[in-house]
């Protein structure tokens, strides 16, 4: 039997509240050693604007951009995003590159050896994860599964006109959030992600 369409699934108020409380979170930010830019085709300019603002305000020392070539493009997400970051004023030699990842797990798994070779994982104590609002805590949960030692912060962006807490009132925003929310428990069970923040 096919699963119910995320955009039409009935939602109880308590599930909406739980998603707002536990999934769609941003953490307090403080200066970090590394900004982890997860690849995307959505809202690239917005994400880069946020990264450039963080750079100007001294919130990270290095960055890594991770993302492979997606259908319809000849360039990797990493190539596109890094070029935009450099154009926005972030020094290119401070932005590490990972060009092969096709999902969030690969973003982390493929990036860790690159970070280690360039900087030494032991020298990175804190990371800001920057990505799409709807993917939300799955970024640091994936990072926590593979790199538990480092402190993780989360900042997410989107271009929807409505407030984040009202995501369920927009058909496309709702579809994206529920698509990611429905992955959390199965991914935890399969060991793809780890609970974060830890209780």
Note the pLDDT tens digit of each residue in 112-151.
999 999 999 999 999 999 999 999 999 999 999 999 999 9
- What are the respective helix, strand and coil percentages of the chain, to the nearest 5? 45, 15, 40
pLDDT of amino acid 2: 42
Question: So what's the pLDDT on residue 71?
Answer: 83
Q: Is residue 158 part of a domain?
A: yes
Task: Report helix, strand or coil for 151.
Answer: strand
- Confirm whether 22 is domain-assigned: yes
Task: Please report, for the domain that includes residue 121, its CATH number.
Answer: 3.40.50.620
Which domain range does residue 91 map to? 13-189
Can you give the pLDDT at residue 199? 55
- Is 195 part of a structural domain of the chain? no
2 belongs to a structural domain: no
Overall number of domains in the chain: 1
Mean pLDDT score, 89-96 = 97
122 contacts 90 by C-beta, under 8 angstroms: no
Q: Quick check: is 78 in a domain? A: yes
The dihedral through the CA atoms of 156, 159, 160, 162 has a sign that is: positive
Q: Token digits for 130?
A: 């920057």
Q: Is residue 183 part of a domain?
A: yes
pTM reported for the whole predicted model: 0.93
Q: Does residue 194 lie in a domain region? A: no
In a domain, 52, yes or no: yes
């Amino acid at each position: 039997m096919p699963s119910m369409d995320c955009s039409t699934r009935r939602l109880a108020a308590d599930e909406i509240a739980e998603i707002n409380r536990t999934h769609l979170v941003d953490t307090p930010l403080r200066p970090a050693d590394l900004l982890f830019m997860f690849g995307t085709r959505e809202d690239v300019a917005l994400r880069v604007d946020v990264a450039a603002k963080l750079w100007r305000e001294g919130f990270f020392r290095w960055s890594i951009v991770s993302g492979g070539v997606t259908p319809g493009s000849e360039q990797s997400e990493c190539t596109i995003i890094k070029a935009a970051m450099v154009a926005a004023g972030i020094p290119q030699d401070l932005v590490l590159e990972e060009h092969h990842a096709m999902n969030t797990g690969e973003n982390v798994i493929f990036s860790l050896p690159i970070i280690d070779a360039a900087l030494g994982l032991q020298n990175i104590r804190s990371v800001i994860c920057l990505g799409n609002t709807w993917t939300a805590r799955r970024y640091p949960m994936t990072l926590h599964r593979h790199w538990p030692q480092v402190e993780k912060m989360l900042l997410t962006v989107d271009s929807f006109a409505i407030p984040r807490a009202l995501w369920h009132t927009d058909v496309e925003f709702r579809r994206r959030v529920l698509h990611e929310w429905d992955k959390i428990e199965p991914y935890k069970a399969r060991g793809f992600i780890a609970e974060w923040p830890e209780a």
